[in-house]
Amino acid sequence: MTPRQAFWRGYLDCAPFTLIVVPYSMLFGVVARDAGLDILQTMSMSVLVIAGASQFTAVALLQDQAPVFIALLASLAVNLRMAMYSAALVPHVGHARLGVRALMAYLMVDQAFAVAVRTYEDRPDMSPPIKVAYYFGCMALICPFWYGCTLLGAVVGQAIPASFSLDFAVPVCFIALTAPLLRSGPHIFAALVAGTAALAFAWVPWSLGLIIAALLGILAGGQAELFLARRAERSGA
Amino acid sequence: MIDATTFWTLTVLLGIGTFLIRFSFLGLLGGRTLPDRVLLYLRYVGVAVFPALFMPLVVWPEATGGTPDPIRLIAALAAFLAGLRFGVVWAIIAGMGTLYLMQFLLS
């Protein structure tokens, strides 16, 4: 595979998620305009932040007249999960130049992360430059749609009736991301532990329940893998 | 009305903060080789974060004021099964399709 082919492979592999990104980013445009932001403000937020959930949080708190400091911390907490994505990408694309890594960091969204890491693990023969090209391919599709449809939502405005239940596109997106990752017993165990813990810790303020649940899931998955490896070793010996 | 100064302060700081979170490990560790034990756990990041994100949204949807909604639970299950069996596109279509169909039939 050449880097060019890898780029287009990533582009196509991420294509299904435009089904989610289009309505979700339009919804942000509409909600931001409803909250009283102008088009420049709405677009600036989408371009500077590119992280839907935290943008919705920020706009909602601004509307409630929350102090800037509080709104900032609450919105950042929503994005804390990306530190985990950042760590998980190190073994695959950590070799890239600092500038390239900075650009990869700016473009790091859930869908691109999930699709890229899944492909890296399925195809261990991918060379480091191929992995980088693939990553940018994933984002080259999502990112313009994110900007463009935020603008569309902001301009068209108020045209999405609540009966479309677009709120549900978000969990559906994450379900679609999870299903192909359940490739072994430890993966299923990690997902079960994380999902259950997210419900148990939903009361924790600052969206930190999510972080606790994710860490528990990661621990559970890793421990299960170690346990199975040790058992296989014992029965083999 | 949202005050312009408040808005720009928050947006610029949120942009910088979010970038620093994303850059954190990738930026600082760079090409360093990580210990096997760390690599083992990192393989479970996605499969742990995503269920933790969607479970509360499915069980306590904001659209119903946080009360569990049978239609959404069934639609989520449909999305999950379609995702396991047929992949991403069908998960999305099955999830939203089931939701719309049931809302239409039951309204």
Q: DSSP per residue over A17-73, as a string?
A: GHHHHHHHHHHHHHHHHHTT--HHHHHHHHHHH--HHHHHHHHHHHHTT--HHHHHH
pLDDT band at B9 (very low <50, low <70, confident <90, very high): very high
A232 and B CB contact within 8 Å: no
Q: What is the pTM of this model?
A: 0.87
DSSP-assigned letters across all residues of A157-222: -S-S-GGG-GGGHHHHHHHHHHGGG--SHHHHHHHHHHHHHHHHTTTSTTTHHHHHHHHHHHHHHH
Binary contact (A172, B60; C-beta < 8 A): no
Query: Tokens in use for A153?
Result: 């939502």
Q: What is the pLDDT of residue A69?
A: 87
| Sign of the four-CA dihedral B29, B31, B32, B33 | positive
Of B21, B51, B91, Cβ closest to residue A176 = B91
Of B8, B45, B58, Cβ closest to residue A171 = B58
CB contacts < 8 A, A to B, total 287
pLDDT band at A166 (very low <50, low <70, confident <90, very high): confident
pLDDT band at A213 (very low <50, low <70, confident <90, very high): very high
Mean pLDDT score across all residues of chain B: 91
Q: Residue A233 pLDDT more than 90? A: no
Q: What is the pLDDT of residue A159?
A: 62
Q: What is the pLDDT of residue B64?
A: 85
**Would you tell me how many other CB atoms lie within 10 Å of the CB of residue A171?**
23
In chain B, pLDDT over 70 holds for what percent of residues? Answer: 100
Do the beta carbons of residue A59 and residue A35 sit within 8 Å? yes
Q: Residue B49 pLDDT more than 80? A: yes
How buried is A234 (Cβ within 10 angstroms: 0-12 exposed, 13-18 middle, 19+ buried)?
A: exposed
How buried is A86 (Cβ within 10 angstroms: 0-12 exposed, 13-18 middle, 19+ buried)?
A: buried
Q: What is the pLDDT of residue B30?
A: 82
Binary contact (B92, A19; C-beta < 8 A): yes
pLDDT band at A193 (very low <50, low <70, confident <90, very high): very high
B97 and A CB contact within 8 Å: no
B47 and A CB contact within 8 Å: yes
Where is average pLDDT lowest: A40-54, A161-175, B7-21?
A161-175
Binary contact (A171, B12; C-beta < 8 A): no
Which residues from chain A sit within 8 angstroms of residue B23, using beta carbons? 86, 101-102, 105
**To the nearest whole angstrom, how far is the Cα of B107 from the nearest Cα of chain A?**
11
Q: What is the pLDDT of residue A96?
A: 92
Residue of A nearest to B94 (CA): A172
Binary contact (A174, B41; C-beta < 8 A): no
Q: What is the pLDDT of residue B60?
A: 93
Q: What is the pLDDT of residue A156?
A: 86
Q: What is the pLDDT of residue A199?
A: 95
Which residues from chain A sit within 8 angstroms of residue B60, using beta carbons? 202
DSSP-assigned letters across all residues of A114-147: HHHHHHHHH-TT--HHHHHHHHHHHHHHHHHHHH
Q: How far is the C-alpha of A64 from the C-alpha of B72, rounded, in Å? A: 28
Of B29, B59, B72, Cβ closest to residue A199 = B59
Query: Tokens in use for A49?
Result: 């932040």
Mean pLDDT score across all residues of chain A: 90
Binary contact (B53, A210; C-beta < 8 A): yes
Distances (CA, A) of A30 to A4, A23, B41, B96: 36, 10, 39, 20
Q: Residue A160 pLDDT more than 70? A: no
Q: What is the pLDDT of residue B31?
A: 79
Closest to A215 (Cα-Cα) out of A234, A233, A198: A198
Mean pLDDT on A131-141: 94
Q: What is the pLDDT of residue A162?
A: 67
Which residues from chain A sit within 8 angstroms of residue B92, using beta carbons? 16, 19-20, 172-173, 176
**To the nearest whole angstrom, how far is the Cα of A1 from the nearest Cα of chain B?**
22
Q: Residue A237 pLDDT more than 80? A: no
Where is average pLDDT lowest: A43-52, A219-228, B31-40?
B31-40
Q: Name the A residues in 129-158 with CB < 8 Å from any B CB.
A: none
Q: What is the pLDDT of residue B10?
A: 95
Q: Summarize pLDDT for A69-115 with one digit per residue, the tens.
A: 888 988 998 898 999 999 999 999 999 999 999 999 999 999 889 99
Where is average pLDDT lowest: A102-106, A165-169, A207-211?
A165-169
Who has greater pLDDT, B86 or A216? A216
Which residues from chain A sit within 8 angstroms of residue B47, using beta carbons? 178, 181-182, 187, 190-191, 194, 217, 221
pLDDT band at B39 (very low <50, low <70, confident <90, very high): confident
Binary contact (B2, A62; C-beta < 8 A): yes
| Greatest mean pLDDT among A15-29, A189-203, B1-15 | A189-203
| ipTM score above 0.90 | no
